[in-house]
Structure 1
Amino acid sequence: MTANSIRVVGPVHANTDHGSAITEQEILATQQSWAEGLLQVGRDYSAGGITQATATADALIQQVYGYNLGPVLFKPTLANGESTFRLTHEGALSYFVGNNPNYQDNGFALMGWERYEFNNAGVYINGDMALTMAHAKFFNQQGEATLVEKTWGFKKDTAGQVRIILHHSSIPFAS
């Protein structure tokens, strides 16, 4: 019989400076910036290849994620194995554009998405931090939708910008 165990990686310490309270409108704007950025990465890939897409994805990560606050807890949609959970900018960039031998990603943003829809099931706000759970649909050129479940954590930084500090994404369970 195998013993149960919990692997402890160690505590994650983030910047504890508190800004002003997050509003639901700021959360929605951050979600929209993320999704618009994802579509732009794909368009740039089609127009200019992997170099242009990587530059756009890098700019998006710097714009919406909270790596300036500490590690971002990131679980990409189609990740598995040793690289399932990511705490670095490099891991997030690989999710968007692949092209990194340290990860098994093909680049979620490079899949030809044309549009998106978000449906937040719930929004929880507690001061300068917030959580959401949502269904996100991404539509390809043929109008076919891929449904993704997203849980995001947000924190307002000292400059007043809402940043994503938790990104968990998965394909719905099918029995």
Structure 2
Amino acid sequence: MFTKEMVHTALQTWCDNVVKVGKVHTEGGDVQAFSLQVLSDSYDYDNGHVLFKPTLTFGQQTFRPTKEGALSYFVGGNSDYPNDNGFKLKPWVKVWYSKEDFILNGELAIVQCNVHFIGDDDSHIFVNKSFVFKQCDDGKVRIILHQSSLPYQP
């Protein structure tokens, strides 16, 4: 059964991984290999189906149902996704969530929150997020739905 503590751990892990990807990139590490590991550990692409709508995607490539598409959004460099610049490479030096609310339903947690990003250049953005986390057969918690959008600006 999914618990409140599991929700907070999953959200914090997601935030921490954004910072870690940027750090690996800044330090000259293998950001692609690291990001693939994050995708395997935190998203259910390897074992199931993932619904992923990144913040800054549009047109034919709005949704990223494949691990390849998600990786391209994270780190760029894929000619099949020419508009991807690698969102996680900025680097982001601090990432946190706020105003979270959730519904727990058996092996699932349905979550909405804001996520704040601070760049190494002191830039600050925040986005609205929806996640569905699933407690998988191997005991790990993975994302099966990730939707992200910029807040509405009337």
Q: What TM bracket, shorter-length normalisation? A: over 0.9
| Whole-angstrom distance in 2 between the partners of 1:64 and 1:24 | 18
When Rg is computed on C-alpha atoms for both structures, the one with the higher figure is 1
Count residues in correspondence: 153
* Matching residue within 83, 86, 93 for 1:107: 86
Residue of structure 1 in register with 2:48 after alignment: 70
In structure 1, what is the equivalent of residue 128 of structure 2?
A: 149
Q: 2: CA distance between counterparts of 1:165 and 1:37?
A: 17
Cα-to-partner distance string for 1:134-159 (whole Å, 9 max, x where unaligned)? 00000012433101111000111112
- The list of structure 1 runs, each at least 4 consecutive aligned residues, that deviate by more than 4 angstroms after superposition, is none
TM-score by length of 2: 0.93
2:150 alignment partner in structure 1: 171
Confirm whether residue 42 of structure 1 aligns to residue 12 of structure 2: no
Contact 2:15 2:97 in 1 (8 A): no
Aligned to 1:13: none
Q: For the residues of structure 2 that align with 1:99 and 1:169, how far apart are their CA atoms?
A: 21
Alignment TM-score, normalising by the size of structure 1: 0.83
For residues 99 and 66 of structure 2, what CA distance do their matches in structure 1 show?
26
CA-CA distance at 1:45 after TM superposition: 0.9
Contact 2:75 2:86 in 1 (8 A): yes
The superposition leaves residues 76-125 of structure 1 with CA deviations (integer Å, 9 ceiling, x where unpaired) of 11101101011110011011101111222111101121101201431111
**Is the Cα–Cα contact under 8 Å of residues 124 and 130 in structure 1 kept in the other structure?**
yes
Which sections of structure 2, spanning at least 5 residues, go unmatched?
none
Give the direction of change, closer, same or farther, for the CA distance of 1:121–1:29 in structure 2 (3 Å limit): closer
CA distance in 2, matches of 1:142, 1:87: 32
The structure carrying a bigger strand percent of its residues is 2
SS of residue matched to 1:169 = strand
Matches within 5 A, 1:1-175: 21-48=1-28, 52-103=30-81, 104-175=83-154
Percent identity among equivalent residues? 38
Unaligned regions of 5+ residues in structure 1, if any? 1-20
The amino acid of 2:77's aligned partner reads N
